[in-house]
Amino acid sequence: MAFDDLRELYQEVILDHGKHPRNFRHPPEANRQARGDNPMCGDKITVYLTLAPSPSGEDVVADAAFEGRGCAISQASASLMTEMVRGKTVAQVRALFENFHDMCTKDDALHGDHGDVDEDAMDRLQVLSGVRQFPMRVKCATLAWHTLIAAVDGGAKTSTE
Amino acid sequence: MTTYALHQAPAPASDRTGFDIAAVRRDFPILRERVHGKPLVYLDSGASAQKPRPVLEAMRHFYEHDYANVHRGVHLLSARATDLFEQARETVRRFINADSADEIVFTRNATESINLVAASWGGTFLRAGDEVVLSAMEHHANIVPWQLLRDHLGIVLRIVPIDDAGTLDMDAYRDLLGPRTRLVAISHMSNVLGTINPAAEIISMAHSRGIPVLLDGCQAITHLPVDVQALDVDFYVFSAHKLYGPTGIGILYGKSRLLSQMPPYQGGGDMIASVSFEKTTYKEPPHRFEAGTPAIAEAIGLAAAIDYVTGLGFDAIGAHEADLLAYATTRLQTVPGLHIVGTSPHKGAIVSFTMDSAHPHDIGTIIDRAGIAVRAGHHCAQPLMERYNVAATCRASFGLYNCRDEVDALVAALMTVQEIFG
């Protein structure tokens, strides 16, 4: 029934993060940032990353934050994302993005192998998998993540189009 | 989820204005469609209206019996197709009371009509520093073509502000009309706010300074009678698909005096008098502006749509839609945390709104599952969204086939939104 899909989409975690987004701030020490726009709906987001070299020499996300406005899905996705990527290497962030993207767009059987991925993080991100039943809303969930990757890549303006 | 009265009871035989809404609804086959298992409640006619059977049948009949290219060939079907195509032009002329059918140019849509005026008229008569006056409530289609011209020629765009209710500031408008103003291009009715602008006053103030006026009639044309001669408007544009006609065809009305001074917009077949590699001469308007094979069946579909609408009459349509607008405005205000954007006293049947608890896209998704189609987004009017400091709104836009039960269904679904997001 249609309403079950809605419950699946608007789970408590989504509503909570949508209403009270975590890491909704602009850290002055951030050294990477990127802006994302969804021209279809007018949603805008800026992702701020503070990357720091780890003992192994690889860059690690010391802090992740965002500002912007959008629907519950986009705000919750951004909020959860900032929690999930902290402490991860850039390679781990990319792997997480690829897995998340698969989760939002493909049936489970079609998910690719994107390397070393944090299974706990993916478990927590499962709350967003409901968007797969709402093709018009997938971009709401992925905008923050595309913007994250743009920030990792050096910071630029990105768009879901 | 809530069940609505609509799901059990058939539409009433007639509404409170005496309009036979049940009969009208039977004319629109798509209204029997179910969406997510629910009866379709289509409240997105401002984006594009549904089509009555006479429009569908006219196009089908044309393809099955009369189809050929127009203005070419001596064979019977070509003659029939040409006659029907030019009859459609005459139907449009009569509908907006133009002086001559030669003042009716077929385009792809209103957007192309505005681009045609900007490129042909603007490109010929405007110079750097000349001013074009727009309003704060314009659709992107009546902003971007002028911006392209600004970038190309160095013209200046001046914007008439609106008040919080969404009413045009006529004092500011008067002050913006200056010695460099060359054109006023303003929406006749806002696609977001529903505001119906005082067209006659806008035009007479501009004309007193010798300034021509273009009205974007995309929304107005479906809700009120338009008489281009009574308005004395210089250019009037609209699309067929919002007027219960097909996509792919729009209208540019232009006064003969203006059209005859304008160079072609596109080159090709059907718009030339003679062609040689040294020199080509062009046909007179409107054919000068209709290069290539036009949307023939669509013109015939548009004529059928106009016949349908005029058969019902704007008195009846207007009364029915005024009733719906008043009912929707009252009922929507019972939803906690709902704010109507656009409360001008002179409005057509469009209600934009926001809710404190939910973003328009979340609202749109949730009520879609109840079978209700509304637009959620910036409505191609981002400067207007900035004016109200919102990223987006939801918009319920009513057509002549909507009924009070559908307003009730919308309100019930919005209560569900409120429950989820509360």
Shared domain for B127 and B191, answered yes or no, is yes
Pair B236, B96: CB distance under 8 Å: yes
- Roughly how many angstroms between the first and final C-alpha of chain B, as a whole number? 16
Residue type, B183: L
What is the band of B294 on the pLDDT scale with cuts at 50, 70, 90? Answer: very high
Cβ of residue A91 closer than 8 Å to a chain B Cβ: no
Q: Check whether residue B279 and residue B334 sit in a common domain.
A: no
Distance CA A140, CA A151 (A): 18
Nearest beta carbon to residue B361 from set A1, A3, A71: A71
The reply to whether B43 falls in a domain is no
Please report, rounded to a whole number, the percentage of residues in chain B having pLDDT higher than 90: 89
Q: How does pLDDT run across B266-280, given as a tens digit for each residue?
A: 998 888 888 888 888
pTM for this predicted structure:
0.92
B394 is catalytic: no
Q: Looking at the 3D structure of chain B, how many domains does it have? A: 2
Question: Residue B4 has what pLDDT?
Answer: 37
What is the model's pLDDT at position B8?
41
Q: Of B278, B310, B342, which residue is a domain's last?
A: B310
| pLDDT for residue B7 is more than 50 | no
Which among A2, A42, A71 is the nearest to B36, CB-wise?
Answer: A2
Alpha helices in B66-219 (DSSP H): 76-96, 110-116, 123-125, 144-153, 170-176, 199-207
Structure tokens at B350: 């469009």
Give residues 47 to 76 of B whose Cβ lies within 8 Å of A.
Answer: none
Residue B2: pLDDT band (50, 70, 90) is very low
| ipTM of the complex, rounded to two decimals | 0.86
* Residue-number span of the structural domain to which B302 is assigned: 55-310
Arithmetic mean of pLDDT, B10-16: 53
**pLDDT tens, position by position, B149-205:** 999 999 999 999 999 999 999 999 999 999 999 999 999 999 999 999 999 999 999
B224 to each of B3, B74, B342, how far by Cα in Å? 34, 41, 19
CA-wise closest residue to B306 among B51, B102, B101: B51
Give yes or no: residues B254 and B192 share one domain.
yes
Determine the pLDDT at residue A111.
Answer: 80
Contact B361 A69 (CB under 8 A): no
Question: Is residue B391 a part of any domain in this protein?
Answer: yes
Q: Looking at B310, B330, B353, which one is the last position of a domain?
A: B310
CB nearest A3 (choices: B361, B369, B382): B369
Q: What is the CATH number of the domain that holds B389?
A: 3.90.1150.10
Same domain assignment for residues B380 and B369: yes
Q: Residue B221: CA atoms inside 13 Å, Cβ hemisphere, count?
A: 30
Q: What is the pLDDT of residues B231-241, one digit of tens each?
A: 999 999 999 99
Asked if B303 and B334 sit in the same domain, the reply is no
Q: Which has the closest alpha carbon to A155: A14, A33, A62, A13? A: A33
Q: Are A44 and B391 an interchain contact pair (Cβ–Cβ within 8 Å)?
A: yes
Q: Does residue B204 sit in the same domain as residue B76?
A: yes
Distance CA A15, CA B130 (A): 51
Question: What's the whole-number mean pLDDT along residues B379-399?
Answer: 93
Asked if B391's CB is within 8 angstroms of A69's CB, the reply is yes
CA dihedral A3, A4, A8, A11 (to 10 degrees): 70
- In angstroms, rounded to a whole number, what is the distance separating the alpha carbons of residues A27 and A33? 10
- Domain boundary among the residues B310, B339, B356 is at B310
Please report which confidence band the pLDDT of residue B12 belongs to, taking 50, 70 and 90 as the band edges.
low
In this prediction, residue A131 carries a pLDDT of 92
Mean pLDDT across chain B, nearest whole number? Answer: 94
User: Are residues B340 and B303 part of one domain?
Assistant: no
**What residues of chain A lie within 8 A of the CB of B392, using their CB?**
41-42
